[in-house]
Amino acid sequence: MRKLLSASLTLATASLAAAGVLLPLRPAAADTGDPPSTTLAAAAQRSGRYFGAGVTAHKLSDPTYTGILDREFGMVTPENEMKLDVTEPQQGRFVFTAADRIVDHAAQQGMRVRGHTLLWHAGQPSWLVNLRGTALREAMLNHVTQVMAYYRGRIHAWDVVNEAFADGPTGARRDSNFQRTGDDWIEAAFHAARAADPAAKLCYNDYNIENWAHAKTQAVYRMVRDFRARGVPIDCVGLQSHFNANHPVPADFVTTVRNFADLGVDVQLTELDVEGSGAAQAESYRRVVRACLAVSRCTGITVWGIRDSDSWRASGTPLLFDSSGARKPAYTAVLDALNSAC
């Protein structure tokens, strides 16, 4: 709750309550003339959205890292700790030590958690790579069931399936061991996921699906539309949103966000980073945030790390804080954009 209420609202509520005026308990809206919020989480919350970060368990003992995390963010995503090679290193032996460090830290700080990810072609332990057919399908569904049952009630949204479509012009599924068990592996995973934790939002997550004109975007869109039409339980689409010179923020990004949302699912920007620096990087971030704010079902944004030095693409300096932990122009652009939401 701490993150959900701005200090100004609390003060205003207290003084008005003292004067006998009843106010609905809700976050401050941007159009009430409240002073701008001073953290990313509070600024996003003005329009009911979250702002999160990808987090690495072993960095939680770094006070600069954790200081920024706790001050600025309201949602965390374990960057690697919930992947299959970590959580089920041997078949049937589940290990949650590293993921628990993040989930427990989040709980202590009043932050929510995105679960990332249950089924992915990469990051697989060797026992899984060696399975085929029915044995693989059963092991895959058991993994979904066991991990989601362990965290039942504690995860806001799960990336049930990650990156199942191929790049390029075909719009085809990516070849993988999961895909070779049959085209229905994704919907089977979503059914198992709903049964394991009915309260979690179930997401399909992918990269390079931000440009509406791309075949991969269209293919994912058709799958989500088909799932919605046939009652396959899917609640959200995650647009990873890794941008750089080869993959800039597309001019039609807001169209993509809106079109997915119009299928009746939430859209979350799940791994945002923009390589670059200075004013140009800040402007790209501003455009991304504005696109999300323009679509009511775009419910939150997660950046893929905290400082540039924490990034999986550190040489591209793609994040909101520099390596010393100072706010970059991109930070200010994001904060200002969130504060001007209405």
Q: Output the CA–CA distances (angstroms, integers) from residue 34 to 38, 96, 118, 296, 339, in the order listed.
A: 12, 42, 41, 21, 10
- Which of 163, 187, 210, 275 is catalytic? The answer is 163
- Contacts of residue 138, defined as CB under 8 A and 6 or more positions apart, other chains included, come to none
User: Cβ(252)–Cβ(263) under 8 Å?
Assistant: no
Residues in region 105-164 near ligand XIL by CB under 6 A: 162
- Cβ nearer to ligand XIL, comparing 253 with 304: 304
Residues in region 171-230 near ligand XIL by CB under 6 A: 207
Residue 309 is a binding residue for ligand XIL (CB under 6 A): no
Residue 310 is a binding residue for ligand XIL (CB under 6 A): no
Closest CA to 116 of 214, 274, 236, 273: 236
Sole residue written with tokens 């991969």:
216
Residue 80 is a binding residue for ligand XIL (CB under 6 A): yes
Q: Minimum distance between the CB of residue 80 and ligand XIL, rounded to whole angstroms? A: 5
Q: Output the CA–CA distances (angstroms, integers) from residue 306 to 55, 142, 232, in the order listed.
A: 8, 33, 35
Helix (H) or strand (E) holding 242: strand 242-243
Active site residue 275: no
Q: Minimum distance between the CB of residue 35 and ligand XIL, rounded to whole angstroms? A: 35
- Closest-approach residue to ligand XIL (CB): 312
Largest CA distance in the chain: 69
- Cβ nearer to ligand XIL, comparing 4 with 166: 166
- Cβ nearer to ligand XIL, comparing 114 with 287: 114
- Which of 72, 79, 187, 271 is catalytic? The answer is 271
Among the listed residues 13, 37, 47, 240, the single contact to ligand XIL using CB under 6 A:
240
Residue 79 is a binding residue for ligand XIL (CB under 6 A): yes
Residues in region 248-277 near ligand XIL by CB under 6 A: 271
Question: DSSP characters for 61-73?
Answer: G-HHHHHHHHHH-
Q: Minimum distance between the CB of residue 57 and ligand XIL, rounded to whole angstroms? A: 12
- Three-class secondary structure of residue 83 per DSSP: coil
- Cβ nearer to ligand XIL, comparing 311 with 339: 311
φ and ψ at 258, to 5 degrees?
Answer: -65, -40
The pair of structure tokens assigned to 201 is 């939002």
d(Cα 266, Cα 158) in Å, to the nearest integer? 12
Helix (H) or strand (E) holding 188: helix 185-196
Q: Minimum distance between the CB of residue 98 and ligand XIL, rounded to whole angstroms? A: 13
Q: Minimum distance between the CB of residue 255 and ligand XIL, rounded to whole angstroms? A: 23
- Cβ nearer to ligand XIL, comparing 271 with 308: 271
Binding residues with ligand XIL: total (CB under 6 A): 7
User: Cβ(200)–Cβ(155) under 8 Å?
Assistant: yes
Bridge partners of 55, per DSSP, are 78
Q: Minimum distance between the CB of residue 271 and ligand XIL, rounded to whole angstroms? A: 6
Residue 13 is a binding residue for ligand XIL (CB under 6 A): no
Active site residue 271: yes
From the number of C-beta atoms within 10 Å of its C-beta (0-12, 13-18, 19+), residue 157 rates as buried
- Cβ nearer to ligand XIL, comparing 185 with 207: 207
- Cβ nearer to ligand XIL, comparing 240 with 317: 240
* Contacting positions for ligand XIL (CB under 6 A): 79-80, 162, 207, 240, 271, 312
Catalytic residue IDs: 163, 271
